[in-house]
Structure 1
Amino acid sequence: MAPDDGAPTRTREETVALGVELLDRLEDEELPLPDLMDRLETVTTSPAVTREVLEEAERRGVIEREDAVVRVHGSGFVRFDSQVICREGEFSCRRCGAGITTGHFIALDAGELGPFGSSCIRKVTGREE
């Protein structure tokens, strides 16, 4: 039996909205583009959708791109006490692919993102490099 990755099926618009909200919640003030892309790959691996997320985030003033550096002008951060939900089960981490028994999910207005392992949740939110 394949592990449940916990990822619901989303429309393209929902995926873009989730990606923009994730960027809006990053704790980093500035990121190299490859690091930002690593975070966005938790939302989508489609280059076209990733481009839409970046364009929409830039249009809304969430990010500013210059060369290979992205400045984040987010409105907040992920609150671990109220926005990170832990569930027990058999999951695959959405970031690294490792098998995990405790999935950490980020509850955002645009939807839920996860599951992540205990170290990947910190990397995705910018709490750990």
Structure 2
Amino acid sequence: MKHPKTIRKGLDYIIAMDAPELSPLEVRELLRKTVTKRFDVIDQIMSAARKEGLITDKDGMCHFTYEAHDLEFYKPRIIHTEEINNCRCCGRSMKESHYIELRSGMLGPYGSTCVRKLYLDYLFGEE
């Protein structure tokens, strides 16, 4: 199914998350910190994720059902740059920025602490 770029980024991020289940509030908060601050777009991402079969709701939790989707998985990368920026997650000023490279585009910048809070732990095993 064809989605607008922001929705696509949200779906790619959900596919990349390394979590078996999260509360709907946690998923929405992660999307707010990574993809968009607009709640209507977050609602569209959540709806598209349910429609694509990436998320199922059970017992008040969002269960990630990656094997049920037909979207192609692209393993994201963490890109580290030396630049002065503000963290998208916490707003702190930083000299080193981290970006998450998804198939649909880049997310970030993030500080080293915040990028590790985005349920992408498996990416840091390669460092």
Q: What's 1:97 paired with? A: 91
Partner of residue 65, structure 2: 73
Q: Confirm or deny that 1:60 pairs with 2:52.
A: yes
Give how far 1:38 is off: 1.7
Structure 1 residue 68 displacement after superposition: 3.8
Q: Give the aligned partner of residue 70 of structure 2.
A: none
> Is the 8 Å Cα contact of residues 106 and 113 (structure 1) preserved in structure 2?
yes
String of CA shifts for 1:51-91, please: whole Å, max 9, x gaps.
Answer: 11001111111111246411112366855xxx100011111
**Unaligned segments of structure 1, at least 5 residues:** 1-11
- Native 8 Å contact 2:16 2:120 kept in 1: no
Q: 1:47: how far off? A: 1.2
CA contact under 8 A between 1:26 and 1:125: conserved in structure 2?
A: yes
Q: How does 1:89-128 map to 2 (within 5 A)?
A: 89-127=83-121
Which runs of 5 or more residues in structure 2 are unaligned? 68-72, 122-127
- Say if 1:24 and 1:73, in contact at 8 Å, map to a contact too: no
Query: 2:48 & 2:60 partners in 1: Cα distance?
Result: 18
Q: Distance in 1 between matches of 2:91 and 2:66?
A: 27
Task: Indicate the RMSD between aligned Cα atoms, in angstroms.
Answer: 2.2
Within the candidate set 60, 64, 80, 1:86 is matched to: 80
CA shift at 1:50, angstroms? 0.5
In 1, the alpha carbon distance for the partners of 2:66 and 2:89 equals 21
Using structure 1 for the length normalisation, give the TM-score: 0.79
Q: Helix, strand or coil for the counterpart of 2:117?
A: helix
SS in 1 for 2:4: helix
Answer 1 or 2: higher relative contact order, Cα 8 Å, separation at least 6: 1
Counterpart of 1:5?
A: none
Aligned length: 114
Q: Do the aligned residues in 1 keep the contact of 2:74 with 2:102 (CA within 8 Å)?
A: no
State the AA in 2 paired with 1:25: A
In the alignment, the residues of structure 1 paired with residue 119 and residue 74 of structure 2 have an alpha-carbon distance, to the nearest angstrom, of 8
Partners of 2:65 and 2:113 lie apart in 1 by 24
